[in-house]
Structure 1
Amino acid sequence: MTQKVTLIATAAMGIEAFVAREVKALGYENVQTENGRVVFEAPVSAIPRANLWLRTADRVKLLVGRFKAYSFDELFEQTKALPWEEFITEEGEFPVVGKSVKSKLYSVPDCQSIVKKAVVERLKKKYGVASILKETGAFHRIEVAIHKDEVLLTMDTSGSGLHKRGYRVGQGEAPLKETLAAALIQTTNWYPDQPFVDPFCGSGTIAIEAALIGQNIAPGFNREFSSENWHFISSSDWERAFEEAEDHANYDQPLDITGSDISHDMIQIAKSNAMEAGLGDLIQWKQMQVKDFHPKKDNGYLVANPPYGERMGDKPEVEEMYRDLGVIMRDYPSWSVYILTSNESFESLYGKEATKKRKLFNGFIKTDYYQYFGKHVK
């Protein structure tokens, strides 16, 4: 299969611009940014490359069809008219999942069932199968997503969400998604030769993502993808993608990355996660309260997702930490500080108005990303 395909990289709200930038950096053009997704045309070889390299996308989906449907008959006929045999072999397994928002066809189980029947009918006709399809082969998850009567039919090429890098062996109570952590870092102007600190590191996600970015290690290098067994993507495309990832990694890049946390248990978890990521001793881990943090170098970057104080009992303690951090960082004007929190009083507690603010969702929590740009010292 040599023709181009249309791919959709899904993204959390507010992260779409980061995903679009990453897609363009991979060399793909005709990139369109929509709510919650980035759509682009590319050769089939982009499926391995996008899955391996996209740090901020949730999944990579293959677009099979896009059309309007106001009745179950229209949904059935238009689904059946699509070239499913190009993507699914006679033995292929293809469960259908679905969602529907603000559409005439609002019953998701019915939509799933109709799409399944339409694909079965198309494949049976194309493969000359009179009885049932065995579905013992490669796995293809089809999704029918209907929004305002527009139907999007896709196949998930990723399998587990792309935030599952394969290194998280342990986590805290409210772990930050790896994809959002990567976006927080990409917002900054940090370069790998500059100090990088997360003083609320929890299970270490931000520091680990910074190390992966710092050494240009593909975030998907340590995991598998559901499309690795798809017949129309050649094994040589996958081999080339993994070779490219290996060739572009800069394992010799020295890093000055520190993660600290008040909890001894979280530091042990962070260490284990870093080892699992193959980053070994590249990151320094310290059990420490934030008020004991004092930078030793200039021009550093502090990026953190501290506790938000959402539970009533935690609020005074969390707000005290924000005050402590503000007092400390006043003495280090060359440092840039980036804090993600849902606490709307953060600026007054920290004692300074942010240079820039960005609205982001951490899961379902509405947060602000407060950015304080440091004055660079030569």
Structure 2
Amino acid sequence: MGKVTLIATATMGLEALVAREVKDLGYQDVQVENGRVTYTADESAICRSNLWLRTADRVKLKVGEFKAFTFDELFEKTKALPWADLIPENGEFPVVGKSVKSKLFSVSDCQAIVKKAVVESMKKKYKSSWFSEDGPLYRIEIALHKDVATLTIDTSGTGLHKRGYRYLHNQAPLKETLASALIMLTNWNADKPFIDPFCGSGTIPIEAAMIGQNIAPGFNREFVSEKWGWIGKDNWDNARMEVEDVANYDQPLSIFGTDIDHRMIELATNNAMEAGFGDLIKFKQMQVTDLRTNQDYGVVVGNPPYGERLGEREEVEVMYKDMGALFREELKTWSVYILTSNENFETLYGKPASKRRKLYNGNLKTDYYQYFGPRPKRNNEE
């Protein structure tokens, strides 16, 4: 196949992080746009990207991109693309779609036209008038934006936030991809202690452990493109071998998660065991105002209640005030990172953030308040 063009989709606000991850994998031809990062590489990049990208939503194979103002134009230009080089004769190829600010605004019509065009293109190659579609899955997407049509095939299957360890979760779980992003936006490394005082089902501590031991987030799951013949079993075997070779399972970590709800502690403990960190991450039931530690220069990452529901706001705001007072007294050398939609957080916490970053938790607009702790003293410093 040679070179392929991939699109790693990203939640708004995380594109730069995804681009950094792509470059860290060794891919340099990287373009960053709203909601996506595009790059060119060989087939093995499909395997490595799916296994390693912590903050991307999914990885798509770009088949073609062109302007389309009419249905005829969409049909002919889609038909001209090399579908039979990618989809086998028995491949299953449903078509999904979206359209934003485009003349071709009927998504269902666009999907039907693309499906028909792909069939016509494959008929030519396979000399067949009917396709059983009982083989591997190749989910095609037609995305129209300002009359530019982008055609892709999804290589991930289930979204990349599905790591395979979280079978159970609380009612409003933080996506694993966002949890990883929150950690990667801090100054934490495996040598520092780490605390999540609102751990819920344990997602942030588990993602921290995976980062700390350099464990690929996709090591424990499957991807739809593993069944694609043209990628080759060797590419997948080599990519999974690399995952094992570079993981540092012996790296000691100090990761602690707390939550006021004992059911969440039980849930987090079970999820950590499923992820292979049962003995590594410590969980304890407590309210945030009871948090104490004798460790220095650590990192707190928290996704506390936001007070969005009626009747909760006052209680949450009191908790923010108490948390700020406690952290300033007990965690003087620590860096603190808090995600919330409460626009008065800095006032309630009692201190302006060193830095703020706008992020989306699902559809909810939030701010990531970052409080940088002091730099650890060197041995020769007083």
Shared fold, TM over 0.5 = yes
| Match 2:257 to one of 259, 274, 281 | 259
> CA offsets per residue over residues 112-147 of structure 1, 9 Å max, x none?
000000000110111111x31111111100000001
CA distance in 2, matches of 1:259, 1:30: 39
CA distance in 1, matches of 2:246, 2:321: 41
Show the counterpart of 1:150.
148
Q: Which letter maps to 2:107? A: V
> When the two structures are superposed, what TM-score results if normalisation uses the length of structure 2?
0.98
Contact persistence 1:169–1:272 (CA under 8 A): no
CA distance in 2, matches of 1:9, 1:123: 27
Show the counterpart of 1:159.
157
CA distance in 1, matches of 2:278, 2:292: 24
Could you say what secondary structure the match of 2:51 adopts?
A: helix
| Match 1:324 to one of 315, 322, 325 | 322
Displacement of 1:369 after TM fit?
Answer: 0.3
CA distance in 2, matches of 1:280, 1:249: 17
Displacement of 1:173 after TM fit?
Answer: 1.6
Query: Which stretches of structure 1, 4 residues or longer, exceed 6 Å deviation after superposition?
Result: none
54-63 vs 287-296, which moves further: 287-296
Show the counterpart of 1:113.
112
Question: What's the Cα RMSD here?
Answer: 0.7
CA distance in 2, matches of 1:221, 1:171: 20
> CA offsets per residue over residues 285-313 of structure 1, 9 Å max, x none?
00000000012110010001100000121
Q: Which letter maps to 1:302? A: V
CA distance in 2, matches of 1:301, 1:350: 17
> When the two structures are superposed, what TM-score results if normalisation uses the length of structure 1?
0.99
Show the counterpart of 1:19.
18
CA distance in 2, matches of 1:11, 1:203: 23
Show the counterpart of 1:309.
307
For the pair 1:192 / 2:168, whether they are aligned, the reply is no
| Match 2:236 to one of 223, 226, 238 | 238
Displacement of 1:377 after TM fit?
Answer: 3.3
CA distance in 2, matches of 1:252, 1:320: 41
Between the two proteins, what is the percent identity of the paired residues? 68
CA distance in 2, matches of 1:320, 1:287: 20
Counterparts of 1:205-224 in structure 2, within 5 Å, are 205-224=203-222
CA distance in 2, matches of 1:328, 1:140: 53
Contact persistence 1:138–1:230 (CA under 8 A): yes
Show the counterpart of 1:32.
31
Show the counterpart of 1:181.
179
Show the counterpart of 1:250.
248
For the pair 1:140 / 2:138, whether they are aligned, the reply is yes
Displacement of 1:376 after TM fit?
Answer: 2.5
CA distance in 1, matches of 2:294, 2:177: 29
CA distance in 2, matches of 1:64, 1:238: 21
Show the counterpart of 1:104.
103
CA distance in 2, matches of 1:158, 1:39: 15
CA distance in 1, matches of 2:249, 2:207: 14
Contact persistence 1:301–1:335 (CA under 8 A): yes
Could you say what secondary structure the match of 2:267 adopts?
A: helix
Show the counterpart of 2:380.
none
Q: Which letter maps to 1:5? A: V
